[in-house]
Amino acid sequence: MRILGKRVKMNKIIVLLLIGLLALTGYLFSGDLDPSFHSQEEVKWKIPIGRSYDYSNILVSRVIDGDTLLLENNERVRLIGIDTPEIHESSKLNRDAQRSGQDLAVIKRMGNRSYEFTKALVEGKRVKLEFDVERFDKYKRILAYVYLADGTFVNAKIVEQGYASLLTYAPNVRYADLFTELYRQSRENRRGLWE
């Protein structure tokens, strides 16, 4: 009987360890793991175990460009549904220039105007994030709709004032109709980049 009791107790311990290991494995491969590569030989992993963030009241520490924000926890947020001109040399800048027929310098100037608008709107302010179907993009940036404390819908405001084009990817289409209407109005009224 003693051997059977020890075996049952040992089996319970093994089962609990396996459950814990499976939970940790699921967490590590869920997309919440943030690798930062410092060199080809050294890989540093940041695992936010035991730390959760209140996305209903989080500080925007810096605006990276017109449609990308850096939060106080060092996570990047890509604003859903909008696209602002590039401000840095990139393959996207080159594609946009080729597609639009505009000079790289013109696109960068427009990108800087969008950046300045977004910066004045949200940098150093606390915001609330709203998520759609997908939580992250392929670059591991958070995909979100962003609101200021006074209720201002940041994504919509940038489009409404003429500092962004539309960029809608299914399944993240909750406000696509609103953005389409705001974009039409900003073009017709020659606001922001459309003046």
* pLDDT band per the 50, 70, 90 thresholds, residue 23: low
Q: Has 195 been annotated as catalytic? A: no
76, 109, 126, 141: the catalytic one is 141
75, 78, 113, 160: the catalytic one is 78
Does the domain formed by 58-194 have CATH 2.40.50.90?
yes
pTM for this one?
0.73
Residues with Cβ within 8 Å of 21's Cβ and at least 6 positions away in sequence, in order, are none
Q: Where are the domains of the chain?
A: 2-46, 58-194
Q: Which of 1-10, 28-37, 44-53 has the lowest mean pLDDT?
A: 28-37
Distance in angstroms (rounded) separating the CA atoms of residues 179 and 173: 10
Q: Has 72 been annotated as catalytic? A: no
Q: Has 141 been annotated as catalytic? A: yes
What are 84-140's pLDDT values in tens digits? 999 988 888 888 889 888 899 999 999 999 999 999 999 999 999 999 999 999 999
Distance in angstroms (rounded) separating the CA atoms of residues 180 and 176: 6
Residue 144: closest CA among 127, 157, 123: 127
Residues with Cβ within 8 Å of 32's Cβ and at least 6 positions away in sequence, in order, are 47, 48
Is the pLDDT confidence value at 154 over 90? Answer: yes
Write down the pLDDT at residue 52: 74
